[in-house]
Amino acid sequence: MRAQQVQFHPLSEKHALEQVVRELSRHEPADAIGAAGPWIDSLVGSPDLGPNECARLLFALDEASQAPARNCVELYLAARHKSASERKRLWALTHGFWSMVLEAYADLLIMHAAEREPSARSFLAQLAVRAIRAGAQRAKWDAFRHGPIDDVVWARLNLAYRVAARSGVERESVRLRADRDATTSVEREYLRAVALHSLGPDQLDADRLELASRLVHYVSPRLELNSRPGTTTLYWVDLGHTLPPARMMQVPQQIVQGLFFSGASATLALHELLELVSAGNVPAGLLLQHDAGNTAGLSSVLSHMIRVWSNDAPLRRYRRHPVPGRLLVAMGLQEFSLRLGSEEHGGLLRDWSMRDASTHGVGVEAPEGDVDEVQLGMLLGMHSSDGNRWRVGTVRRLWRTAKGCNQVGIELLGNEPVGAVADDGAQRVKIILLDPLRRGLPVRVILPLSARSERPLYVLGQNRTVKLLPLPEREYGLDHEIRSYLFAV
């Protein structure tokens, strides 16, 4: 990048920059991010700085903010169990920080792209690496609240890779910190961003998305990003455009500069890791600090990654049909159980718009006020606005679109749920039967997480008590467990 005459900026003096970096290290994580923001903002478009000097200062502030930014992730995830207002504050602060950093790097990349004289290879490689890292963080914080991920994010990510590839530095090793031996590259950072995107952020809550991010780093040496499609290609992206990676259903015909992603080679390592986790041997750094004892969450993410990155692209077995109409929704196991028992004692029914439906799923749009309460894995009871036959489902997808729509994907669990009371040997619990009770046949039962589902269950009726024996099949939701039982003969 061509040198420009540098005038004066407060951080251009070495001692001033070092002092700011020291002060940032003394702050609490959120305070450090808040303090770094104005300094970064002062660099963007400053007439007192040439691009090289601006990049040098931005690199230093970015690096000084890495540890506080990582800690803000843990604080944000932990705040789910404490304060909604604190969670929103942390999200706005950290999301705003990464938005600012990404735009600062984008300005430098655009200036570089317009220059006729080439920049030093090491400088350009570091600029592109840091830009991609900032873009990946911005996308992750967007996904923490179920989107939308602004189109500008992938426009910036694609620009960074494209600029690096034009100069042939996309695979050049970059050491971001002089005191560490670890290196990375433009290709590696971009590959990680594509890999996380391929896992479907609309299917992962914030905790599981962060776990997925860590697991992507763990298996990144086995992930593939190629210039041509292969038999295991899952996603593709055109660097010549601003769109995010897309599932490859067929080989695209017109591509300006294509890259093709596959995670198939990582599935064996993920299977091995899943076996370790199931045995209680979890590698350091994978679990979340606020939930360090929860290996079930890590196992569920590993299973999800194995399923998504398998060789076969998922096929929709049942066609979706547009179905306009309204759905009245009871949110959560407790509220729906009350509705099944006596509608008079149920809570508020939510009024949602139907979009489409298939044999085993329903797509709806929820109002903004409701979608803030919806969580992946939550149980929902629902019926049409002009009927009273309940159906029950669970939230599988949740996404805010750029057009302001709040889309909820619901997997149907049963069309004729029946509420009942059962004794698990220690307490009476309200349950929901998904299948008819027939001697000698299995029946799926929805129970609260507090129930002792590993023991026989006694369903209490007016005239008789039915004994159900637990079967191995079980599945956990946000507020419930679905377990199969056998109606004892």
The C-alpha atoms of residue 242 and residue 154 are separated, in whole angstroms, by: 6
Q: In the prediction, which pLDDT does 117 show?
A: 63
DSSP reduced 3-state for 239: coil
What integer pLDDT is reported at residue 46 of this predicted model?
Answer: 79
296 pLDDT band (50/70/90 cuts)?
Answer: confident
Residue 79 has pLDDT above 80, yes or no: yes
How confident is the prediction for the chain on average, in pLDDT? 89
Tell me the sheet residues that pair with 395. Answer: 410
Q: Give the model's confidence band at 316: pLDDT under 50 very low, under 70 low, under 90 confident, else very high.
A: low
Residue found by looking up tokens 């990946």 in the block: 136
Please report the pLDDT score of residue 7 as a whole number: 52
Band the pLDDT of 345: cuts 50, 70, 90. low
pLDDT for position 197: 96
pLDDT of residue 2: 46
pLDDT at 118: 64
Higher pLDDT, 462 or 469: 469
Cβ contacts of residue 56 below 8 Å, gap of 6+? none
Query: What pLDDT score was predicted for residue 449?
Result: 85
Spell out the long-range contacts of 481-484 with Cβ–Cβ below 8 A and sequence spacing 24 or more: 481/446, 481/447, 481/448, 481/449, 481/451, 481/453, 482/413, 482/434, 482/444, 482/445, 482/446, 482/447, 483/444, 483/445, 483/447, 483/453, 484/442, 484/443, 484/444, 484/445
Name, of 116-125, 260-269, 309-318, the range with top average pLDDT: 260-269
Give the pLDDT score at 342. 64
Asked if residue 77 has pLDDT above 60, the reply is: yes
Please state the rounded mean pLDDT for residues 470-487: 89
Mean pLDDT of 156-181: 91
| pLDDT at res. 343 | 53
Copy the structure tokens of residue 166: 């034009």
Confidence of residue 6 (pLDDT cuts 50, 70, 90): very low
Phi, psi of 231 (to 5 degrees): -70, -20
